[in-house]
Structure 1
Amino acid sequence: MKSAQEDEYLEFVAERAKPLYRSAYVLAAGDTHLAEDLVQETFSRVYVHWKRVARADSPAAYAQTVLVRTFLSLRRRRSTGERPIGNLPDGAAPGPDTALRLTLLDALAQLPPRDRAVLLLRYWEDRSIEETAKMLKLSSSAVRSQGTRALGRVRALLGDSLSDLVPH
């Protein structure tokens, strides 16, 4: 890569690393190591195509799409349903919403990967239905119905316990 392009890429990485990590953390349902791997893989794929990505309307949206597709691809490739047990959060930040965050992440971890991706894009990233559909290669109606079902599953998993965690 040429020096100017490389500088541009490094500036992009510095600007997008935290937002991509936050999205990856939600997709990975709180698994910090998987989130870091997803971000690293995303930046690697963006680097390979940086010349084209830099000319795109929104390199940030391109990177977000790569992140979500990398996550979904990883989930499809996993041959086992193996899950580590006794996995404690890596030092959740102290604060009034720590219990709420952990409860929500636990509920999200129980959803299928595509449901998690729809909820992340629609509600965490505040994307439109059309943007979400484009990023996930789904129809708009599929995003709406999958989002509704995923929210229903989260509500069922949380039950009445969520109201106990919200500060009044």
Structure 2
Amino acid sequence: MDAAEEQRFREFVTDRSPALMRLGFLLTGGDQHAAEDLVQTALAKLVTKWRTVDAPEAYAKQIMYRQQISWWRAGRRRVELVRTQAPEPEERDRHHQSELRLVLRAALSRLTARQRTVLVLRYFEDLPEREVAQVLGCSVGTVRSTTHRSLARLREVAPELADELEAVT
């Protein structure tokens, strides 16, 4: 890699790392260290293909999806982070969104890796069911049923998200 290509890669890492970390954080259910591992793995693989990749961010995300899938297929166990739930909001104000994020993070960590991955791909990455099925290597029907079960599980573990989940379904 020449100096100009290296500079382009460094700029990409600087500019896109926060977005990749957010995605990694969601895919891993709030596990900071696993999210960092996902991003590092993606960037390490991306740098080897840097000259030939037309859309580096999409390529990095695809690596992250596949790596996460490999981890849960291999049965990699991560320590579940136990957090207390945020107190009930007195009113819907500017702090409500922050509280919802905390509750959602805790609820996502209680899902299986597969359930969490399907929800992140469908609703955070806004991928259609067909693309999620391609990424996960399963059928569209499997994506639909996993999405349905995952949302039901979220409603069960975080009833305070009911209003927001109704907007999704």
Taking structure 1 as the reference length, what is the TM-score of the superposition? 0.78
Deviation readout 1:119-163 (Å, 9 max, x if unpaired): 00110111222222222222222222211221111112223x336
Length, aligned pairs only: 156
Q: Does 1:26 align with 2:26?
A: yes
Quote the offset at 1:45 in angstroms.
1.1
Q: In 1, Cα distance between the equivalents of 2:110 and 2:120?
A: 14
The alignment partner of 2:127 has SS state of coil
Which residue does 2:4 correspond to in 1?
4
Specify the code of the residue in structure 1 equivalent to 2:17. Answer: A
Q: In 1, Cα distance between the equivalents of 2:71 and 2:147?
A: 21
Q: Give the counterpart of 1:75 among 67, 72, 94.
A: 72
Which residue does 1:91 correspond to in 2?
none
Which residue does 1:141 correspond to in 2?
141
Q: In 1, Cα distance between the equivalents of 2:83 and 2:158?
A: 20
Which residue does 1:65 correspond to in 2?
62
Give the direction of change, closer, same or farther, for the CA distance of 1:134–1:163 in structure 2 (3 Å limit). closer
Q: In 1, Cα distance between the equivalents of 2:80 and 2:158?
A: 22
Unaligned runs of 5+ in 1: 89-93
* Aligned alpha-carbon RMSD (Å): 2.7
Which residue does 1:42 correspond to in 2?
42
Specify the code of the residue in structure 2 equivalent to 1:106. Answer: A
Give the direction of change, closer, same or farther, for the CA distance of 1:4–1:119 in structure 2 (3 Å limit). same
Task: Answer whether contact 2:118 2:146 (CA < 8 A) is retained.
Answer: yes
Q: In 2, Cα distance between the equivalents of 1:87 and 1:108?
A: 12
The alignment partner of 1:63 has SS state of helix
Quote the offset at 1:100 in angstroms.
1.6
Which residue does 1:122 correspond to in 2?
122
Percent of aligned pairs with the same residue?
A: 37
Structure with the greater relative contact order (CA < 8 A, sep ≥ 6): 1 or 2? 1
State which drifts further: 6-15 or 33-42.
Answer: 6-15
